[in-house]
Structure 1
Amino acid sequence: MLIVDSHLDIAYNALTWDRDLTQSIRRMRESEAGMPEKGRGLNVVSFEELRRGEIGLFFVTMCCRVASHGKRFPGVRTQDMAYASDRGQLAYYRLMEQKGWLRQIRSAPALRTHLQAWEADPVHCPLGFVLTMEGCDGIVDDDQVPEWWSEGLRVVSLCHYGVSSYAHGTQAPGGLTPRGAPMLRALERAGMMLDLSHLAEAAFWEALDVFGGQILATHNCVRALCDHDRQFDDDQLRAIIGRQGVVGVAFDDWMLSPLWDRQAQDNTGITLETVVDHMDHINQLAGNCRHAAIGTDLDGGYGKEQSPADMDTIADLQKIPDILTQRGYSDDDIATMMHGNWLRLLEEGLPA
């Protein structure tokens, strides 16, 4: 079954973790054997595994934040540096396109063309990607939004951890900064979609008041199941549902369950069943299956040690349909969650 994943830090993986994603998972893991950093030798994403898992379309990030809270949340010193870093990540995606590994999706017609090509030849078709920016410190001012639009940027979030130039984010309570509302209006004028992920609660509600365009959440979980400000409470989820948004459920163990233990050797109690619990919660709030989807964030600074225990690589996303079947979901509802919701949102949110 085709899967659409709304959050993968592909360039971050390649450039920060120094990983050649054109290699096999086995070869990458072997090359990192003995490295002391957390997550080394445990990576779960490669181009080969994406194809094996039938993940023919995914959202990729550019992400570089300006440091905030006295370096509690590390980053660069200035927005100019963030801009340059994001440009470097974009250059990686461009090169992967030139080499035939990836294909950027900029418009609704391009989306349809890619899906036809994937269906005809999933073995050789380039993997499709939608370009996003996670935390937009790299957009140095409102006037620069059209430049990024011309590069194919289509989804933007205002912040990451800490306080960005435009909004308070995860673990930094507060609202929009004075520059936040003007940036939101510039994004809406350009036709960008707004990713609500990482917004602090006050900033979330303020952003919804200002921004009238398409909203989504590329990688989030449910606060009722895992109580942390990184997750959405039910009122936030209802607001997204009411605006016809979609939530990509993340696969990071600490976002999935309060049972996660950073010091544990494994987290066998956190599985793909746990992921489906979050999807099901969103469905129950909505009264339908049109708002829950996949947004893994796999390899977002971690690997197998912080992923559902019954996953070895991202290809194991194909286990989820069987779990949904066991929960009583129909084939049509399962297809809706695995790819249909994101395809519908992109069809509506991308330029015609």
Structure 2
Amino acid sequence: MTDQPIFIFDCHLDLSMNAIEWNRDLKRSVYEIRDIEKGMTDKLDRSLGTVALPELRKGKIGLVVATQIARYVEAGSLIPGWNSPEIAWGISQAQLAWYRAMEDQGQMTQIVNLIQLEEHLALWFDTAIPDENKPVGYILSLEGADSLVNISYLEKAYSYGLRACGPAHYGPGRYAAGTGRTEGLTVSGRELIAEMDRLNMILDVTHLTDKGFDEATSLYKGPIWASHHNCRKLVNHTRQINEEQIKVLIERDAVIGGAFDTWMLTDNWERGKDDPKGRGVHLELIIDHYDHICQLAGNSLNVAIGSDLDGGYGKEQSPYDLEDISDLQKLQGMLAKRGYSNEDIENIFYKNWLRFLRKAWA
């Protein structure tokens, strides 16, 4: 095993949500942001964030799938969201504007096709340029489709670079039921799947119910990934994927990104009460999920990183041995200790996502 950091492709970060809704200047380091937030109590993860652009570069995380996310909820909903699809669309456009501002300043660069992908990789693999001077590349994904006012909005989004979409998030959805529900795709959701197929977008099955997963994977003919998902066999919750779903994804040559939220790494986590150290939630637990999928597949070609480390939580709900997102590099030693070869580790760190995209975008 090399001691050198390996390039990382993280398939799920909510960067613009953190910037717009948490009011975080992600050009600053995680530690500066924590200082600014000292004493704030409006969100559980205030002064505990783990993700910012300097730490992405420090961790050699040069390419990410970055989301737009804005859920619609009906009056009286127990989960937070926006009160109309049009408001949700407006929030998603504010998030897009933030990405554009980051591009203008050379902080980030959007990747929408193979040529841009290969150019960006060449930049990041150029050792003559310090990593801290390189932009973080991002592929735009929509997490939960509620903000699409109607189906025609998907093509509008595709035109500004949206390349992946997960129809569901939490609770009831306009296009598909999400985590915590049992229903599947709505009538509009079936139309959405057909339109995604027409545009050759990537379908993200994350957050779909079991019924929605079966319906979406049956209907959809294009490329499928699970950007941030762990194994139900190891942590028993419907948010996780079951054995049959893993087999379907392997058959479809999909890639599954392991997520680092503590409630996806241990059973019966109580948000706001439990403590990662007290519950024994450490980074090694994610290797159990990777290994489980690798054993089912017989190789290391279907697992990767989809950390979700800024998905509305921070250190209070992350493995206790992770101080910030650059600590993803620690996985290298943990995988090697489990007998994974350098090639396997590179597959998990970035090569599986790259192989997927090169095939999807060919």
- Specify the TM-score bucket, using the shorter chain as the normaliser: over 0.9
Structure-2 separation of matches of 1:300 and 1:167: 20
Q: Which amino acid aligns with 2:164?
A: V
Residue among 259, 262, 267 paired with 2:277 = 267
1:84-163 alignment, distance < 5 Å: 84-120=90-126, 121=129, 122-163=131-172
Q: In structure 2, what is the equivalent of residue 314 of structure 1? A: 325
Please, what TM-score do these two structures have when normalized by structure 1? 0.97
Compute the TM-score of the two structures, normalised by the length of structure 2: 0.95
1:139, CA displacement in angstroms? 1.8
Alignment pair present for 1:254 and 2:271: no
Give the corresponding residue for 1:41.
Answer: 47
For the pair 1:242 / 2:251, whether they are aligned, the reply is yes
2:276/2:282 contact within 8 Å kept: no
Cα distance in 1 for residues equivalent to 2:151 and 2:326: 39
For residues 241 and 266 of structure 1, the distance between their equivalents in structure 2, rounded to whole angstroms, comes to: 31
SS for the counterpart of 1:123 is helix
Shift of 1:125: 1.7
- Indicate the residue corresponding to 1:169 in structure 2: 178
Shift of 1:142: 2.0
- Output the amino acid matched with 2:281: I
Q: Which amino acid aligns with 1:239?
A: V
Output the CA distance in 2 between the equivalents of 1:114 and 1:13. 24
For 2:329, give the aligned amino acid: Q
Aligned length: 351
Relative to structure 2, which stretch is displaced further, 287-296 or 80-89? 80-89
- Residues 141, 183 of structure 1: 8 Å contact kept: no
Task: Name the counterpart of 1:292.
Answer: 303
Aligned to 1:337: 348
Q: 2:228 aligns with which of 219, 242, 248?
A: 219
Residues 75-126 of structure 1, C-alpha deviations (whole Å, 9 max, x = no match): 1122111111111110100010001100000001110000001111233121
SS at match of 1:59: strand
Looking at structure 1, the residues matched to 71 and 260 of structure 2 have their Cα atoms a distance apart, in angstroms, of 22
Q: Secondary structure at the match of 1:103?
A: strand
Equivalent-residue separation in structure 2 for 1:201 and 1:77 (angstroms): 27
Given the superposition, is the C-alpha separation of residues 176 and 4 from structure 1 closer, same or farther in structure 2, using an over 3 Å criterion? same
Distance 1:71 1:272 in 2: 34
Q: Match for 1:20 among 2, 25, 31?
A: 25
Gaps of 5+ in 1: none
Give distance in 2, aligned partners of 1:156 and 1:69: 25
SS at match of 1:82: helix
| Structure 2 residue 196 is the aligned partner of structure 1 residue 190 | no
- Measured after TM superposition, the shift of residue 259 of structure 1 is 6.0
Q: Give the equivalent residue in structure 2 for 1:65.
A: 71
| Matching residue of 1:2 | 7
Q: Do residues 79 (structure 1) and 85 (structure 2) align?
A: yes
Tell me if 1:277 matches 2:307: no
Runs of 4+ in 1 over 4 A off after TM superposition: none
CA deviations 1:287-317 (Å, max 9, x no partner) are 1100010000002111001001100000000
> In structure 2, how many angstroms separate the alpha carbons of the residues matched to 1:73 and 1:321?
37
Distance (Å, rounded) in 2 between the aligned partners of 1:85 and 1:110: 27
Q: Distance in 1 between matches of 2:281 and 2:343?
A: 27
Letter in 2 for 1:327: R
Over the residues paired in the alignment, what is the CA RMSD in angstroms? 1.2
Report the Cα distance in structure 2 between the residues aligned to 1:327 and 1:168, rounded to whole angstroms. 37
SS in 2 for 1:61: strand
CA distance in 1, matches of 2:263, 2:348: 22
Equivalents in 2 of 1:20, 1:145: separation in Å? 29
Q: Give the secondary-structure state (helix, strand or coil) at the position aligned to 1:7.
A: strand
Contact 2:14 2:310 (8 Å CA) reproduced = yes
Asked if the contact 1:68/1:162 (under 8 Å) is kept, the reply is no
* Alpha-carbon contact 2:275-2:317 (below 8 Å) kept: no
Alpha-carbon deviation of 1:180?
A: 1.1
Name the structure 2 match of 1:31.
36
Local SS of the residue matching 2:172: coil
Structure 2 residue identity aligned to 1:240:
L
Counterparts of 2:92 and 2:274 in 1: how far apart (Å)?
Answer: 34
Other-structure match for 2:217: 208
Q: Is the contact between residue 68 and residue 163 of structure 1 (CA under 8 Å) also seen in structure 2?
A: no
Residue in 1 aligned with 2:3?
Answer: none
Contact 1:62 1:86 in 2 (8 A): yes
Give, in angstroms, the shift of residue 74 of structure 1.
2.0
